[in-house]
C-alpha cells in the first residue's frame, strides 16, 4: 500500500461534528495521482513508488520528462516518491485516489511555507529591538551587536540576522482526517497545513501516531 499522495491546498473552513462541536479544517484537493515508476530492491536497493500529479499538455514538459512518463500514459507536472509496504499488484500507470485515506486516520502533511521576502530581525526572529526613547529613533528595529570587537572578534556562523524569510519545507505531524469525499477528490484535515492556498502539498501516513 502506498503511504502518501500529492494534492493542493484549497483553503480553510469549518465543519460540525455529530455532537455540535465546531471543527476547523483545511480542504485539500488530493489526487488523483498516477504511478510513474516503481523502485525495486534488485535495481535501486529499496522499494518505493514514484507518483505524478496534475496532468499538463505535452508542450509544458521537456522531452526527457515526456520520455520518462511515456509508460504511465499521462503527462503530469509534479513527481514525488513515497515508501510502500509491498509492490505486489502495483503497476506503472495505476491511478491512486483519495479513498486510500479514511476518516479518523492520522496523517503528516508536508508543504512549503508562505514566502515573506526579505525581513528584519524583529519579524524574522522576534527580536525586541532597541529602546523607543533617549534619541534611539534609528535603532528601534535594529538587531544590536552581532559580535564583540575583542571576544569573539568575529560573527558566529548561524548568527540570527535579517534575511529571506519563509518559503521553506515544513512538516505538520499527526493531523486527523475529518472527512473524505471520494467523488470530488476532497480531503478534510483538522487544523492548518503549511503554505498558501493552491500550494502543492504531500499527505502521508503518520509516522508517529499519538496514542
The helix/strand/coil state of 47 is coil
pLDDT at 131 (0 to 100): 87
Predicted local confidence at residue 208, as pLDDT: 85
Residue 211: predicted pLDDT: 52
* pLDDT at position 91: 86
What dihedral do alpha carbons 153, 158, 163, 164 form, nearest 10°?
A: 170
Residues 6+ apart with CB under 8 A from 106: 174, 175, 176, 177, 205, 206, 209, 210
pLDDT score of 155: 92
pLDDT of residue 210: 63
The answer as to whether 138 is a domain residue is: yes
Ranges of residues in the chain whose predicted pLDDT is under 70: 210-211
> Do residue 183 and residue 196 come from a single domain?
yes
Residue 77 lies in a domain: yes
b or e along 132-152 (b: 16 or more beta carbons within 10 Å of the residue's beta carbon)?
eeeeeeeeeeebeeeeeeeee
pLDDT of residue 14: 93
Are 70 and 129 in the same domain? no
pLDDT at 94: 87
| pLDDT for the residue 24 | 95
Residue 116 has a pLDDT of: 94
Pair (136, 64) in one structural domain: no
User: What's the domain count of the chain?
Assistant: 2
Q: Domain residues for 23?
A: 4-116+171-205
* CA dihedral for 29, 30, 33, 37, sign (positive or negative): positive
Amino acid at each position: 500500500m502506498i503511504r502518501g499522495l500529492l494534492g493542493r491546498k484549497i483553503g480553510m473552513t469549518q465543519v460540525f461534528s455529530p455532537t455540535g462541536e465546531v471543527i476547523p479544517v483545511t480542504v485539500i484537493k488530493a489526487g488523483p495521482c498516477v504511478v510513474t515508476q516503481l523502485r525495486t530492491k534488485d535495481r535501486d536497493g529499496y522499494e518505493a513508488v514514484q507518483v505524478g500529479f496534475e496532468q499538463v499538455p505535452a508542450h509544458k514538459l521537456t522531452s526527457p520528462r515526456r520520455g520518462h512518463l511515456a509508460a504511465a500514459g499521462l503527462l503530469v507536472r509534479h513527481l514525488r516518491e513515497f515508501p510502500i509496504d509491498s509492490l505486489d499488484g502495483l503497476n506503472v500507470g495505476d491511478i491512486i485516489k483519495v479513498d486510500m485515506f479514511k476518516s479518523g486516520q492520522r496523517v503528516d502533511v508536508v508543504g512549503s511555507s508562505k514566502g515573506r521576502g526579505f525581513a528584519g530581525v524583529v519579524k524574522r526572529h522576534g527580536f525586541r529591538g532597541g529602546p523607543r526613547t533617549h534619541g534611539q529613533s534609528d535603532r528601534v528595529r535594529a538587531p544590536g551587536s552581532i559580535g564583540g570587537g575583542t571576544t569573539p572578534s568575529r560573527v558566529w556562523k548561524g548568527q540570527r540576522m535579517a534575511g529571506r524569510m519563509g518559503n521553506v519545507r515544513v512538516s505538520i505531524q499527526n493531523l486527523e482526517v475529518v472527512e473524505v469525499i471520494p467523488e470530488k477528490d476532497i480531503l478534510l484535515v483538522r487544523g492548518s497545513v503549511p503554505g498558501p492556498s493552491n500550494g502543492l502539498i504531500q499527505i502521508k501516513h503518520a509516522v508517529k501516531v499519538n496514542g
